[in-house]
Structure 1
Amino acid sequence: MSLRITEDTMAAVVNGEAIVTGTRSECGWHVTTWPRPLDRNAAITALMLAERLITHGEDDPCAREWLRELGRA
């Protein structure tokens, strides 16, 4: 996995394909897998979380901690 981050967009990329994206707006970052706007750091966490859930599942300790950090657990 790699993260591609610019000033206005970000994406988590696996095997050359974006699995989740984020775009910046006036009210924060909108990540395709998250229901509300996030700050930049939380948006990066949400991108990493999406990849972790795909590869390790919801019971993964890292995924559970990132969900807790994002206020959803």
Structure 2
Amino acid sequence: MALEITETTMTATANGQVIATATRQANAWYVTTWPQPLDRNGAITALTLAERLITHGEDDPCVISFREELANG
């Protein structure tokens, strides 16, 4: 996985394909794979979660942990 991070966008790619993006609007980040706005660190976690889901599936302990972390803000 590769993450490209700028001041206003983030892109996660795997095997050369974009799997998720995040866009900054005001003080929040909106990630294509997460339903609510996040802070910068949360957006990075959400992009990492998107990659981990592809490579390890729903039952992976890291996937579960990332989701809990994001849900509890």
Shorter-chain TM range is over 0.9
Identity %: 64
Query: Take 1:27 and 1:3, find their aligned partners in 2: how far apart are those partners?
Result: 20
* Aligned amino acid, residue 55 of structure 1: T
Corresponding residue for residue 43 of structure 1: 43
Conserved? CA contact 1:27–1:37, under 8 Å: no
* Aligned amino acid, residue 41 of structure 2: N
Listed as ranges, the gaps of 5+ residues in structure 2 are: none
Corresponding residue for residue 55 of structure 1: 55
Corresponding residue for residue 64 of structure 1: 64
Conserved? CA contact 1:9–1:23, under 8 Å: yes
Give TM-score, length-normalised by structure 1.
Answer: 0.93
CA-atom RMSD in angstroms = 1.1
Question: After TM superposition, where is structure 1 displaced by more than 6 Å over at least 4 residues in a row?
Answer: none
Secondary structure of 1:20's match? strand
Give TM-score, length-normalised by structure 2.
Answer: 0.93
Listed as ranges, the gaps of 5+ residues in structure 1 are: none
Query: Take 1:61 and 1:37, find their aligned partners in 2: how far apart are those partners?
Result: 24
* Aligned amino acid, residue 38 of structure 2: L
